[in-house]
Amino acid sequence: MMRWALDHGNPLPPGWSYLPRDEEDVAWELFRDRFRSFRPSIYPTDWPAVVDPAPSVTFDLSVPENSPGVWSAQFDAINAEAQRCFVHVQDDPYWIVLDWQHPGYRLNAAAHAETFDAEWPVPVFPNGDYYIFARPDFSTGTFGHPWEKTLCVFGSELVQTLGRTLATWLPRKRENGDPLPG
């Protein structure tokens, strides 16, 4: 299974740096503007927590009960595919990473990908908190909802790459914010 930080006291792996507080505040404001709100909640009646922007596709990450290994395999596959798509954005390797109620980060996706067995302080797959990976202008990225068990891929750049590959094996829940039959 992919290595992800269980002890946030560890040094950051290559490619990761903390966002200064003022930049983190700006990033959260850009996120709220892009998604028109942010209503964190563990209650299904309050979901989705955001208004999915257009273009976007939101995937169902739920795993059937009594399916040993499925969650771990899905976790690894989503993070690996996201990283592959992040490094294919050639104009700039940097991404903003927000982890609700925790420090934010700047990720150099290329430097992280080039490091063997590098730990992820924050994974793309939402495993207990809201995780956002986005270009600095929030034109494209991902929003993971841990309790709804969804991953929203937004912006044309990632919808055409990450969204397209995830759609080959994950159920789609919403497209451009509209629920899909299912």
For residues 144-150, give the mean pLDDT: 97
166 has a pLDDT exceeding 70? yes
Higher pLDDT, 1 or 112: 112
Domains in the chain, number: 1
pLDDT band at 6 (very low <50, low <70, confident <90, very high): low
> d(Cα 143, Cα 147) in Å, to the nearest integer?
12
Is 73 part of a structural domain of the chain?
Answer: yes
pLDDT band at 80 (very low <50, low <70, confident <90, very high): very high
Residue ranges making up the domain that contains 142: 16-37+53-179
For residues 98-104, give the mean pLDDT: 95
Can you give the pTM of this predicted structure? 0.94
Is 22 part of a structural domain of the chain?
Answer: yes
Please write the tens of the pLDDT for every residue from 39-72.
999 999 999 999 999 999 999 999 988 887 999 9
Is 80 part of a structural domain of the chain?
Answer: yes
Is 8 part of a structural domain of the chain?
Answer: no
Is 4 part of a structural domain of the chain?
Answer: no
Percent of the chain with pLDDT over 70: 95
**What pairs with residue 95 in β-bridges?**
107
Percent of the chain with pLDDT over 90: 81
Alpha-helical runs (H) found in the chain: 21-35, 70-87, 109-113, 156-158, 164-166
Is 118 part of a structural domain of the chain?
Answer: yes
* Cβ atoms of residues 49 and 40 within 8 Å: yes
130 has a pLDDT exceeding 70? yes
Is 45 part of a structural domain of the chain?
Answer: no
pLDDT of residue 30: 96
Is 9 part of a structural domain of the chain?
Answer: no
pLDDT of residue 64: 84
pLDDT of residue 163: 98
